[in-house]
């Protein structure tokens, strides 16, 4: 797929992309969907969207057309969440983390070592924990959660220098996502948690502003962070899910006969995207090894013991998440 910087990935006709939802003769509904990532196989967002669009088209043909805007074309995630909440943009796919700015409780999914693997994420969020968080998103953010997909593997720590022991992370400047529980998790692990926008990661590594980055393997590969941070320590500290959402009013304006097919397509896309996640991680690690990245296990129990007190602190700050965290823990295998 050619580089996408100035235009949307459009399925169906390209007209009428400025209104949140418009009707045309040959397409009953046109929607806009935003993503911060590229439109390719290394993007957990695009893997979900491509399957969703395909499933939807099989049933409804051109009755619903979705204009997909990758690479933050509609604005930074922090701005887009507000526009989706208000209905200026119909749909968005992102990690759950950015929605903590509106619904702080969703930040519980960013707590380190809360999940053991992606399958644990699925078990928990297909059950009571996911239902509770989706209800909070509905009430506070005015969006309908369409599913909980998987990140393309665990987040691990990549550094410019090897970490021979878990304690070697102490004092290392690691770029983190600029949200509270990412910062708290890496800080508890001993790192100097340094919030930096995604687009500045490479130059920050290059200039020594940070000594490392915590990310999933496909993103490290796509961002070429391995060119500088050549040592991967398998901390596997966070499995934060991918969450497609839709403004409630936009969903309510869908013709009633279309809604079941729309929701079914979203469910199918979530199942498909989850299945691709493990394969994407394995493939990325194989490629990173070929590119000279050293990949080393570590004592995860050491880090978990340091991070686990954050669960109780967050539950105290936001009492509504205590049953969510309890449900997540009880769903562990």
Q: Which CATH architecture has domain 9-151+240-277?
A: 3-Layer(aba) Sandwich (3.40)
Residue 96 gets which letter from DSSP?
A: G
Burial of 180 from C-beta contacts in 10 A (0-12 / 13-18 / 19+): middle
Q: What is the pLDDT of residue 16?
A: 36
Same fold, 9-151+240-277 and 155-239+283-317: yes
Q: Which token pair is 112?
A: 């380190």
pLDDT of residue 7: 42
Phi and psi at 69, nearest 5°, equal -115, 100
According to CATH, the topology of domain 155-239+283-317 is D-Maltodextrin-Binding Protein; domain 2 (3.40.190)
Q: For residue 2, what pLDDT is reported?
A: 40
Q: What is the pLDDT of residue 8?
A: 53
- Ramachandran angles phi, psi of 235, nearest 5°: -75, -30
∠ at Cα 269 (267, 275), nearest 5°? 110
C-beta separation of 91 from 84 below 8 A: yes
A 10 A CB-CB count for 279 gives 11
- For the chain, the structural domain boundaries read 9-151+240-277, 155-239+283-317
Q: Going residue by residue through the chain (333 aa), what tens digit of pLDDT does each one get?
A: 344 333 455 443 333 333 444 444 444 799 999 998 888 887 899 999 999 999 999 999 989 999 999 988 999 888 999 999 999 999 999 999 999 989 999 999 999 999 999 999 999 999 999 999 999 999 999 999 999 999 989 999 999 999 999 999 999 999 998 889 999 999 999 999 999 988 899 999 999 999 999 999 998 998 899 999 999 999 999 999 999 999 999 999 999 999 999 999 999 999 999 999 889 999 999 999 999 999 999 999 999 999 999 999 999 999 999 999 999 999 997
Distance CA 158, CA 181 (A): 19
Q: Tell me, what's the pLDDT at 14?
A: 34
Using alpha carbons, select from 76, 140, 78 the residue that is nearest to residue 321.
Answer: 140
- Can you give the pLDDT at residue 37? 86
Distance from chain centroid for Cα 174: 19
What pLDDT does 237 receive? Answer: 98
Decide if 51 contacts 269 (C-beta within 8 A).
yes
């Amino acid at each position: 797929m050619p580089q996408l910087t100035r235009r949307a990935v459009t399925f169906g006709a390209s007209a009428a992309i400025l209104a949140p939802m418009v009707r045309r003769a040959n397409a009953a509904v046109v929607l806009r969907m935003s993503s911060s990532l590229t439109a390719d196989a290394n993007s957990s967002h695009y893997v979900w969207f491509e399957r969703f669009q395909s499933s939807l088209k099989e049933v409804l043909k051109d009755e619903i057309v979705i204009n997909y805007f990758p690479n933050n074309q509609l604005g930074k995630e922090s701005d887009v969440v507000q526009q989706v909440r208000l209905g200026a943009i119909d749909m968005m796919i992102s990690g759950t983390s950015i929605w903590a700015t509106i619904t702080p409780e969703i930040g519980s999914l960013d707590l380190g070592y809360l999940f053991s693997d992606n399958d644990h994420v699925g078990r928990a969020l297909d059950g009571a924990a996911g239902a509770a968080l989706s209800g909070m998103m509905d009430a506070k953010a005015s969006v309908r959660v369409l599913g909980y997909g998987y990140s393309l593997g665990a987040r691990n720590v990549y550094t410019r220098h090897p970490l021979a022991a878990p304690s070697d992370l102490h004092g290392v400047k690691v770029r983190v996502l600029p949200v509270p529980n990412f910062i708290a998790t890496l800080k508890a692990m001993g790192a100097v948690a340094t919030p930096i926008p995604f687009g500045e990661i490479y130059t920050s590594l290059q200039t020594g502003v940070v000594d490392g980055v915590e990310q999933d393997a496909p993103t490290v590969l796509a961002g070429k962070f391995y060119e500088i941070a050549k040592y991967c320590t398998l901390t596997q500290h966070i499995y934060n899910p991918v969450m497609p959402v839709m403004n409630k009013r936009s969903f309510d304006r869908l013709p009633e006969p279309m809604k079941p097919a729309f929701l079914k397509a979203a469910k199918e896309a979530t199942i498909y995207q989850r299945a691709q996640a493990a394969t994407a991680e394995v493939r990325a690690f194989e490629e990173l090894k070929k590119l000279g990245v050293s990949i080393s296990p570590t004592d995860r129990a050491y880090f978990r013991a340091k991070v686990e007190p954050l669960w109780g602190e967050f539950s105290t700050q936001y009492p509504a998440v205590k049953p969510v965290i309890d449900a997540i823990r009880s769903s562990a295998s």
